[in-house]
Amino acid sequence: MSTMIVRGAVAVVEAEGRVRTGDVAIVDGVIVDAAVDSSGATTVDATGCVVTSGLVNAHHHLLQTAFRTLPGTRGIPMREWLPAMASAYAEAGVDPELTGLAARAGLAEALLSGVTTVADHHLTWPRGADTVGMARAAAAAAADLGARLVFVRGAARDDPQEAAASAEAIVRALLPGVHGGVSDDGMLQVAVGPAGVHSDPRETFALLGEVAEKHGLRRRTQANEVVDVEIARERYGRRPLDLLEEWGWLAPDVTLAHLCDVTDAEIGRLAASGVSATHAPGCDVPMGWGVAPVRRLRDAGLAVGLGTSGGGSNDAGHLLADARLAMQVSALVGSQLPASEVLALATTGSADGLGRPELGRLMPGSAADLCLWDVSGVANAGVADPVAGLLWAAPGRKPRTVVVGGRLVVDDGRLLTADEDQIVAHLYERVRR
């Protein structure tokens, strides 16, 4: 039995609206009641820190970590952005090596910014590529660094049959003998999801849905950014959500990312279907897609998580920075979201959309994924509410210490599980920049 006690925190955020002081006790990777026998325990000093659950990035495209700030990809409509990104992928040659190196960099960045679980919606599958090898490379990067990964076998104009066969092979290779899509230790999850109705036909949704049903996987897609709405209108004369509903993709096991352009009537239909949502303002705002009406989605009863989306649009995988942005821009589309609620999006909301109620909270029985945020520095001086200050004050804040499943992976702001300089060097070497 291994016991860890996190001691002396200014505040411990257990879940939305549940903030306390006192110790956090961990036994064998699980949060337990703080009254546990602490003799022989590893003690982690949290003096001056707010302790939260590890953040859950519900929507990322880790491959794009290798393609940040590319010339010709900023300030342009998505119709031009997509081919610009596609030609960069083609030039670099997406294979298991690049997938693994980009994932290592993106996951290291995640851990160093307090994100302990990343949903990687992988959308780039060149014809004839070793798709199982690519998925294995991303999974190996996560295992090596000690991050939780949700590998989403996406599709973007892939042949529907090939995409489904690949998804089937990936789930068998990554999670042999597992039903429900999550490994026994909870460190790896597999899901499926086409990029959206703008890129994939009904057949792809149907066939990937069959793989999901067979293996009990979650389904994820993107909906109602500008180009999605435009193309749905041009190609089908419909709204994206009409199509998703007809295709059986508005359901409790589905999470929709973006949702910038939704009507009140559509929000009602989304809520009735049990679907969940992922807000990604760090992508939607710079791309000019708009701001998802999170207040109205939450009020209607949807679980809403937070994601960064990929480096091709966001350029960063810093979820707390995007939580701050979510809070700031929320006032443009309704009443402002309080910090405590936005923190809940980035933790419980994201976890719930992944079907992972053990993640994103610090209650007895929760997975011991947590961050220590030092709030004692000058950038926090004068802050009245240390939990609200986590988001409002000190933009770009990084955690001092990060624990995943009871294991220390970041301490003193440094990655303990790999050499950060090597991760950077290897990715640059591979993409020759």
Least distance from Zn ion to the Cβ atom of residue 222, Å: 5
- Quote the tokens at residue 329: 């821009």
Beta strand 18-20 with 11-15 is antiparallel
CB 341 within 8 A of CB 16: yes
Provide, rounded to whole angstroms, the least separation between the CB of residue 83 and Zn ion.
16
Size of interface with Zn ion, in residues (CB under 5 A) = 1
Of 117, 278, 309, 347, the one binding Zn ion (CB under 5 A) is 309
Q: Which is nearer to Zn ion, 141 or 195 (CB)?
A: 195
We find the least distance from the C-beta atom of residue 293 to Zn ion, in angstroms, to be: 18
Least distance from C-beta 320 to Zn ion, angstroms?
A: 19
Residue 350 makes contact with Zn ion by CB under 5 A: no
- Backbone phi, psi, residue 284, to 5°: -65, -40
Task: Between 64 and 366, name the residue whose CB sits nearer to Zn ion.
Answer: 64
The answer to whether 204 contacts Zn ion (rule: CB under 5 A) is no
Binding residues for Zn ion restricted to 379-398, rule: CB under 5 A: none
Binding region for Zn ion (CB under 5 A) out of 76-84, 196-204, 264-272, 304-312: 304-312
Q: Which is nearer to Zn ion, 309 or 330 (CB)?
A: 309
Q: Which stretch binds Zn ion (CB under 5 A): 157-165, 301-309, 379-387, 425-433?
A: 301-309
Residue of minimal CB distance from Zn ion?
309
Closest distance of CB 216 from Zn ion, Å: 24
User: What is the rounded distance in angstroms from the CA atom of residue 132 to the CA atom of residue 30?
Assistant: 31
> Could you say whether residue 199 binds Zn ion (CB under 5 A)?
no
Residue with Cβ nearer Zn ion (12 or 306): 306
Residue 366 touching Zn ion (CB under 5 A): no
Least Å distance between CB 170 and Zn ion? 20
Contact 54, 402 (CB under 8 A): yes
User: Considering the rule CB under 5 A, would residue 64 count as an interface residue with Zn ion?
Assistant: no
- Give me the least distance between CB of 280 and Zn ion, in Å please: 6
Of the listed pieces 71-79, 148-156, 305-313, 409-417, which binds Zn ion according to CB under 5 A?
Answer: 305-313
Q: Closest separation between CB of residue 369 and Zn ion, Å? A: 23
Interface residues toward Zn ion, by CB under 5 A: 309
